[in-house]
Structures are given as C-alpha cells and as structure tokens.
Amino acid sequence: MTPNVRPLVAGNWKMNGTRASLDQIKAIAEGVKTPLSEKVEALICPPATLLYVATALCDDSPLLIGAQDCHQNKSGPHTGDISGEMIADCFGTHVIVGHSERRTDHAETDHLVRAKAEAAYEAGLTAIICVGETADERRAGQTLDILKRQLSSSVPASATAASTVIAYEPVWAIGTGVTPTLEDVEKAHAFMRAELVSRFGSDGRKMRILYGGSVKPSNAGELMGIDNVDGALIGGASLKASDFLAIYRVYEQLLA
C-alpha cells in the first residue's frame, strides 16, 4: 500500500453479464455499504449493455460503475463504439483503457491508448490505464523496459492523481491462475512509482497503481499488502459478489 492513498478495488466483467447478472451488482452494492467504504473505493465495470441500469442500482450505494473502453472521439461514424461522453451520460465514473486484451485483439497502440485516456479526461471520467508485459517479454528480461515504454507513451502529460489510475497486469497472468512472485510485483510497482514520480512529481506519488492478474480471495491479502500496490483490478473473481466482496474486505485487516 502507499501511505495516504485511498485504495481502489475494481472489477472488470469483460464480455460477461446479462440482466440476470444484475443481482450480483445489487449484492456488491449492498455489501460495500460499510464504514470501510470511507477508506476504500469499490468499482465494477460491466459490459456497456448494463452500464445505465447498473448505475441506477447504485443510487444509494458507494459502489462506483465504470466502462471497459471508450473511443478517442466524442462522436462520429464509429459503429459499435461508445464515447466518454456516453459513459458519463449513463453516470459512469471510470473507464478502462489499454487493457492487454484490447491491445492484442484490436491492435491498440500506446498512442491510441493515450488518446482514449485524454478523451476520458475530457468527459470527466477517471481513466484506468493498463500496462503489462507478455510471457515472451518476461522471459527475455524486458519487463521493466516494457513498463517504462508503456507508461511514457500511454499516460498523457495531463494525467493527475485524481484523473488517472494505473493498472499493472502481467499479460501472462491474466485468467491463467498464475501470479508473479510477491517480489516480482513489489519490484514492478516500485519501478512504476519511481517513473510516475519522476514525470508527475507529487501527483505521481499519489497516483494509484493497481495489481491485476488472477487476483482471488486466497491471494488478495498478500498482493494488496505490498508497497505501492493500491488495490486490484479483478477479472473473473469480480463476477461473483461473494468473491469480489471477500477481496474488498481484505482491507479491513490491512487498514486496521
């Protein structure tokens, strides 16, 4: 954890969820109605089809709702895309950009990710900018070089601690059940913190850096207790309210 930085526990539902899944969001929204919510933020990013209904379910809850991607333009002939303004219009507060699955499946570049983050800022959204190395890059000892390049090229110069969250997700750990060693996570997050401080000064010290990649209730305590790990970006475990809330409640012990 980083001193004086409010952690964020975020769930990325990816291409999962129908109206029947709203019961899980209801349960999460109820489950975070505790004093812990004053110290730790909770966020769920469902598919865009559920965005508006999900925000309506959270009117009386501290649970935040965000989106999984946005287009870099406000509007235009971009069939199938949604803009930052559309997300904000549905009362979304955050948007994930640059997830490795977007970078791979849609050939998104650092330049495009930066443009999407800037579009998120313009719409008043917090951008969760994802970075992380592939298995081949890790084996080649390039992890820190990849993180340096992605942070430099994907994070806009206008980024602030209020508008930006960084999510470190080793591509080889996403959905595989395999996680880096605690030492590997600590080293990567310390490196990213130094890079952010070098570029953004005091804002870099306060910018939240989440860990993502096979986070589950059984390992969340160890991972989120590491220096410079300010929460988690959770995939599969966020689809079940019981799992998400178990991870969220790890902070009851960590912040005690």
Instruction: Provide the annotated active-site residues.
Output: 99, 169
Residue 144: φ, ψ to 5°: -70, -35
E strand or H helix at 164: strand 164-168
Using the structure block, give the residue that is written with the tokens 């890079």: 195
Longest Cα–Cα distance in the chain: 51
Integer Cα distance of 71 and 98 in angstroms: 11
Beta-bridge partners for 126: 94
For residue 81, is it left (φ>0), alpha (ψ between -120 and 50) or beta? beta
- Whether residue 19 contacts residue 52, with contact meaning beta carbons closer than 8 Å, is answered with no
What one-character DSSP code corresponds to residue 141?
Answer: T
Integer Cα distance of 253 and 60 in angstroms: 26
- Taking CA atoms, 112 is separated from 16, 45, 102, 228, 243, in Å, by 25, 21, 11, 27, 33
Integer Cα distance of 160 and 152 in angstroms: 14
Integer Cα distance of 71 and 97 in angstroms: 9
Among candidates 41, 44, 34, which has minimal Cα distance to 13? 44
Tell me the CB-side half-sphere exposure of residue 69, using CA atoms within 13 A.
19
